[in-house]
């Protein structure tokens, strides 16, 4: 978009411009990286990080100092693996052993690779990989061991797929699709979780619930695969499993033929449905993060993912162009995602409702998508119950009526208690008087009473003589 085009766009979309300005002006990182205190090799690593992914680079560089370098190097190592796997100019005879042996290269001083294709976008990372190796040797062993372990697992997984002739023609089953997402993204979630726990920035219980880490990676990777379907088609790659798309068209190429646009949209709906099943587990995972900069690091990509799913859902543009959320929306999402879990839940709720609103009753997955969106809202409700003013008023009125009835019975009980005490004390006093000789029987004997009266009169008339 040219300069004039951008001016016109923001004139008609002022909210987008406002979000960008707010992020640029008001965003205050929890931590700021200080390049002046870094050696040349570490500065080179962050320059490579900027080249490979500006979005991830920004959130990584705002991590707390303990997490900053290990996670930056972890990302660069996995990006190096991904660069080798994606390079279509490398013959399989060279690619497969490189993927399997990549973890060993991390220990070889000065190792670089200059044979990547000239158009490979992350070629410079491998050309200057010796700087990454220098910094890897400086980090704490507990972090290095995690990076090495994940590199081994991911490298072998990628090599298996690279060597699979059937996979080269495209993913076949949903199980194969999810296994591929595990190797390229689920393992990233596992490694990050282990690093977070080692650095005391996440709840150790997450290590016992690795399916949550898996869900984080699967959600991001599946969203990217859905969004990039046209770009992958042009590169002669197919990650949408034939188990899904073969229900709607006979040939993969038909998905991009305008004649089959309705069928293609129904197919994309099933792909979105497959991704949505991970959303609630992503929120559950984020509840286990204990440190703000790490929370920002994991929350921003997930918010972007749910927004991207809403963008691609029922959107025919994904089959003839590469689309992504606007810069203004991205800035707005980043502002929300750097606050707390409740705000991130509001983001998920908002986009789940938008997906439900776009859902077409004619779509064969209409009901299932509606249920998936409802499940997200239901899970959020268990974390943060909604305060409905009308319900609160009804509860207060009910409590008021109960309070009135309660006051009546309390008063009645108090009067009864007072009467009981009076009767009990009176009984004690009368019993004590009787015990010491009081004649209560004469009260009811008229003759005895009259004789007492006569005796009283006689006593009253008695006069003592003077001495």
Q: What is the DSSP secondary-structure string of 222-284? A: HHHHHHTHHHHHHTT---S-HHHHTTT-SSGGGGGSGGGHHHHHHHHHHHHHHHHTTHHHHHH
The three-class DSSP label of residue 203 is coil
> d(Cα 197, Cα 298) in Å, to the nearest integer?
14
202 strand-pairing partners: 289
Q: Is 319 a catalytic residue?
A: no
Instruction: Based on the residue annotation, tell me whether 297 is a catalytic residue of this protein.
Output: yes
Give yes or no: 342 in active site.
Answer: no
Strand, helix or coil for residue 465: coil
- Tell me the C-alpha distance between 367 and 74, whole Å: 41
Torsion of CA 253, 122, 214, 304, to 10 degrees: -80
CA distance 195 to 144: 9
The b/e string for 399-432 (b: 16+ C-beta within 10 A; e otherwise) is eeeeeeeeeeeeeeeeeeeeeeeeeeeeeeeeee
DSSP string for 29-64 = -SS---GGGS-HHHHHHHHHHHHH-HHHHHHHTTS-
Q: What are phi and psi of 164, to 5 degrees?
A: -90, 105
| Token pair listed for 217 | 């990676």
Selecting among 227, 260, 319, 349, the annotated active-site residue is 227
* Options 18, 209, 237, 261, the catalytic residue: 237
Q: How many CB atoms lie within 10 A of CB 194?
A: 22
Q: Which one of 56, 102, 113, 180 is the catalytic residue?
A: 180
User: Among 367, 267, 362, which residue's Cα sits nearest to residue 316?
Assistant: 267
CA–CA dist 260, 383 (Å, integer): 42
Catalytic residue among 297, 319, 348, 351: 297
Written as one string, the DSSP assignment of 385-451 is: ----HHHHHHHHHHHHHHHHHHHHHHHHHHHHHHHHHHHHHHHHHHHHHHHTT---GGGS-HHHHHH
Cα angle 314-382-291, degrees, rounded to a multiple of 5: 90
- CA 252 to chain CA centroid, Å, is 34
Q: Is 353 a catalytic residue?
A: no
Contacts of 122 (CB under 8 A, 6+ apart): 51, 52, 79, 80, 82, 83, 116
Q: Which residues does the annotation mark as catalytic?
A: 180, 227, 237, 297
């Amino acid at each position: 978009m040219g300069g004039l085009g951008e001016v016109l766009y923001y004139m008609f979309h002022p909210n987008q411009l406002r979000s960008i300005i707010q992020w640029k002006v008001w965003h205050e990182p929890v931590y700021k990286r200080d390049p002046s205190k870094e050696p040349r090799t570490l500065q080179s690593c962050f320059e490579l990080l900027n080249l490979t992914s500006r979005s991830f680079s920004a959130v990584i560089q705002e991590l707390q100092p303990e997490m900053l370098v290990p996670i930056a190097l972890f990302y660069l190592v996995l990006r190096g693996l991904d660069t080798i796997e994606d390079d279509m100019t490398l013959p399989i005879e060279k690619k497969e052993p490189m993927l399997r042996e990549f973890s060993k290269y991390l220990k070889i001083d000065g190792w670089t690779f200059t044979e990547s294709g000239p158009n490979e976008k992350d070629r410079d990372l491998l050309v200057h990989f010796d700087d990454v190796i220098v910094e890897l040797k400086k980090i704490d062993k507990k972090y290095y061991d995690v990076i090495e372990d994940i590199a081994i697992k991911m490298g072998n997984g990628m090599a298996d797929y690279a060597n699979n002739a059937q996979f080269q023609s495209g993913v076949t089953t949903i199980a194969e699709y999810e296994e591929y997402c595990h190797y390229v993204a689920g393992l990233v979630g596992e490694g990050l979780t282990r690093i977070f726990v080692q650095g005391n920035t996440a709840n150790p219980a997450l290590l016992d619930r690795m399916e949550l880490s898996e869900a984080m990676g699967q959600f991001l990777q599946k969203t990217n695969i859905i969004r990039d379907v046209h770009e992958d088609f042009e590169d002669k790659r197919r990650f949408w499993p034939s188990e899904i798309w073969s229900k709607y068209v006979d040939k993969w190429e038909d998905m991009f033929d305008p004649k089959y646009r309705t069928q293609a949209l129904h197919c994309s709906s099933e792909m979105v449905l497959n991704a949505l099943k991970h959303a609630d587990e992503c929120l559950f995972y984020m509840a286990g993060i204990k440190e703000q900069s790490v929370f920002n690091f994991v929350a921003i990509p997930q918010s972007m993912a749910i927004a991207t799913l809403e963008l691609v859902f029922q959107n025919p543009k994904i089959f003839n162009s590469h689309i992504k959320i606007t810069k203004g929306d991205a800035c707005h999402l980043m502002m929300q995602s750097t606050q707390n879990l409740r705000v991130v839940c509001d983001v998920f709720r908002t986009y789940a409702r938008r997906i439900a609103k776009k859902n077409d009753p004619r779509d064969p997955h209409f009901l299932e998508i509606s249920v998936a969106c409802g499940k997200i809202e239901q899970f959020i409700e268990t974390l943060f119950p909604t305060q409905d003013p009308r319900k609160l008023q009804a509860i207060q009125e009910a409590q008021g009526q109960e309070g009135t009835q309660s006051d009546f019975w309390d008063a009645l009980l108090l009067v009864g208690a007072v009467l009981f005490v009076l009767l009990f004390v009176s009984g004690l006093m009368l019993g004590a008087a009787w015990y010491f000789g009081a004649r209560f029987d004469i009260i009811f004997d008229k003759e005895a009473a009259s004789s007492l009266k006569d005796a009283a009169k006689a006593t009253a008339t008695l006069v003592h003589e003077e001495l």
